[in-house]
């Protein structure tokens, strides 16, 4: 479900395909046009790519026709995402006809799976670069400049780009994403991520803190620590998470887990708001929830995808927890942080899903009453365990009908949750203009709900106390009662 003010920060439909630009460097003469699709991780990766290419003489442009290099950072999570990118590649090729010097490159999750198709069969791109190979871009660009196709889709054991300072593209100057892990080891049977982004590795906490401190110095007020499964973060000097057992006693004793990283970040910049995404229920510990409760600057919001409410389907998805264990986690969150907002990701129509399984999903939602939700119909992905072992046997109409059911229920719960804020005074960080009215600011409260209120003399980046007077299921509407003491 997508708010009209853009509540979703995970896969924001409104930003799909956004062209990313950054400030011009006068010494740079070449032009880069870069478009991004998919999850926030991809948008964050594009900031790393732009940083690497800025050193190679590229400025970004929003006009594809004048570009020397067109890059598209791709997503494979559902078939629809791939189809959208394919359409864009056709468009790029049409432009290439009028601008033959222009080179086209595919980055990200579609790279590995479709490299030979793109380069050899269809010959629609000049370069294919996987998510762990961005540091090789200068060499690959040289290859294509010399008239050869270039490809690097090697997945790495230790690449985290910790030493590349990302440039902030299309930034509001207030909120930023900071990547802390790459890849995923979970092997959920529906998911293509472990195949496209490789095994899980964590970034050096020192480089994370340096990035956060630098963002604060530059006026940013909120960061989101980013990873496919942030709670699984584990730094022990570098290397894959799965190799932790081979680490030395010293490495184990000085290792940093997610709760510790969260605390270190919160303490490094006590006035910076801290969020994190995504949490996998199987890896979220009480330590993390207690750390959230201890620090005022860690926001009361957890994105906690469950995917299904049925134990049988959870097992078939290889989600390593039961419905009952999930409820226990929710109960603990609510006990330790009573006003904590929780959101979900849900998949309808996973192979073999019955009406009874679907009812289990609805009853799980009824128990939790999520604040937000991101819901999808199952899309079979090549190479995943589900694709190899299970028939995609739920008819499209059934998937759609069940999706409608859960979206409707989520809508009801979202409204129930926003209504709980009525009459309260809440601290809001102003991010920018309201899309619907120039006379209003748009920001978020700690629970990540969008709040809109008249501008008065406040400015972007202010923490403002706002009294909530009205609400829709996605937006709180209020009026400022003064600056927060937190500024």
Number of residues located near ligand SAM, criterion CB under 6 A:
19
**Candidate ranges 19-27, 264-272, 376-384, 470-478; the one touching ligand SAM (CB under 6 A):** 376-384
Q: Which of 376, 441, 453, 463 binds ligand SAM (CB under 6 A)?
A: 376
Q: How far is the CB of 82 from ligand SAM (least distance, A)?
A: 11
CB of 381 to ligand SAM, least distance (A): 5
Residues 241-280 that bind ligand SAM (CB under 6 A): 278, 280
166 or 305, CB closer to ligand SAM?
A: 305
- Strand segments, DSSP code E, in 113-248 are 127-129, 150-152, 175-179, 181-182, 201-202, 222-226, 234-235
Q: Give the one residue of 7, 74, 224, 228 binding ligand SAM; rule: CB under 6 A.
A: 228
Q: Does 190 bind ligand SAM (CB under 6 A)?
A: yes
Query: Considering only 90-98, 121-129, 184-192, 453-461, which stretch makes contact with ligand SAM by CB under 6 A?
Result: 184-192
CA–CA dist 119, 99 (Å, integer): 19
Cβ nearer to ligand SAM, comparing 343 with 414: 343
What's the min distance (Å) between Cβ of 38 and ligand SAM? 7
Q: How many CB atoms neighbour CB 444 within 10 A?
A: 25
Distance in Å from the first CA to the final CA of the chain: 32
- Nearer residue to ligand SAM within complex by CB, 22 or 81: 81
The three-class DSSP label of residue 1 is: coil
Verify cis geometry, omega within 30 degrees of 0, for the bond prior to 278.
yes
Tell me the window of 66-74, 80-88, 132-140, 377-385 that interacts with ligand SAM (CB under 6 A).
377-385
Is the Cβ–Cβ distance between 27 and 65 less than 8 Å? no
| Calpha distance 69→58 (Å, rounded) | 9
- Contact 266/295 with Cβ under 8 angstroms? yes
Among 378, 441, 458, 463, binds ligand SAM (CB under 6 A): 378
Q: Which two tokens stand for residue 18?
A: 């956004």
Question: Which single residue is written with the structure tokens 């930023």?
Answer: 176
Name the one range near ligand SAM by CB under 6 A: 60-68, 187-195, 233-241, 250-258.
187-195
| Subset of 67-106 contacting ligand SAM (CB under 6 A) | 77-78
CA angle, corner 230, sides to 224 and 232, nearest 5? 160
The residues near 286 (Cβ < 8 Å, ≥ 6 apart) are 332, 336
Contacts with ligand SAM, residue ranges (CB under 6 A): 39, 77-78, 186, 188, 190-191, 228-229, 278, 280, 305, 307, 345, 347, 376, 378-379, 381
């Amino acid at each position: 479900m997508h708010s009209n003010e853009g509540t979703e920060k995970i896969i924001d439909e409104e930003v799909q395909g956004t062209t990313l630009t950054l400030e011009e460097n006068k010494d740079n003469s070449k032009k880069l046009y870069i478009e991004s699709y998919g999850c926030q991780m991809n948008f964050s990766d594009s900031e790393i790519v732009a940083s690497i290419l800025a050193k190679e003489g590229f400025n970004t442009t929003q006009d594809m026709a004048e570009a020397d290099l067109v890059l598209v950072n791709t997503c494979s999570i559902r078939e629809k995402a791939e189809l959208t990118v394919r359409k864009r590649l056709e468009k790029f090729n049409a432009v290439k006809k009028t601008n033959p010097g222009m080179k086209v490159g595919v980055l990200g999750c579609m790279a590995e799976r479709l490299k030979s198709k793109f380069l050899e069969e269809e010959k629609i791109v000049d370069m294919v670069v996987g998510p762990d190979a961005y540091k090789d871009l200068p060499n690959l660009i040289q290859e294509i400049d010399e008239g050869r196709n270039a490809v690097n889709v090697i997945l790495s054991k230790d690449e985290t780009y910790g030493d590349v300072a990302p440039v902030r593209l299309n930034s509001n100057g207030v909120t930023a994403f900071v990547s802390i892990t790459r890849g995923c080891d979970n092997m959920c049977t529906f998911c293509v991520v472990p195949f496209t982004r490789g095994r899980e590795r964590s970034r050096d906490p020192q480089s994370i803190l340096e990035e956060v401190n630098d963002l604060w110095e530059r006026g940013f007020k909120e960061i989101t620590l980013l990873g496919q499964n942030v709670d699984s973060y584990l730094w022990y000097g570098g290397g894959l998470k799965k190799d932790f057992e081979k680490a030395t006693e010293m490495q184990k004793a000085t290792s940093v887990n997610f709760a510790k990283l969260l605390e270190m970040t919160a303490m490094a910049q006590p006035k910076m708001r801290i969020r994190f995404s995504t949490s996998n229920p199987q890896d979220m510990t009480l330590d993390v929830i207690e750390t959230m409760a201890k620090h005022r600057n860690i926001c009361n919001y957890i994105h906690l995808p469950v995917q299904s409410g049925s134990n049988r389907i959870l097992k078939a998805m290889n989600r390593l927890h039961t419905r009952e264990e999930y409820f226990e986690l929710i109960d603990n969150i609510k006990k330790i942080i009573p006003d904590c907002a929780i959101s979900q990701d849900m998949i309808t129509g996973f192979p073999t899903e019955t009406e009874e399984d679907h009812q289990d999903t609805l009853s799980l939602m009824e128990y939790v009453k999520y604040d937000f939700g991101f819901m999808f119909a199952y899309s079979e992905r090549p190479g995943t365990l589900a694709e190899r072992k299970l028939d995609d046997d739920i008819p499209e109409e059934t998937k759609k009908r069940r999706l409608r059911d859960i979206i409707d229920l989520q809508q009801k719960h979202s409204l129930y949750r926003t209504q709980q804020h009525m009459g309260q005074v809440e601290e809001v960080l102003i991010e920018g203009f309201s899309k619907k009215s120039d006379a209003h600011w748009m920001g978020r409260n700690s629970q990540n709900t969008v709040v809109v209120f008249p501008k008065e003399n406040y400015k972007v980046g202010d923490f403002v106390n706002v009294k909530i007077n009205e609400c829709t299921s996605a937006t709180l509407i209020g009026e400022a009662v003064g600056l927060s003491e937190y500024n």
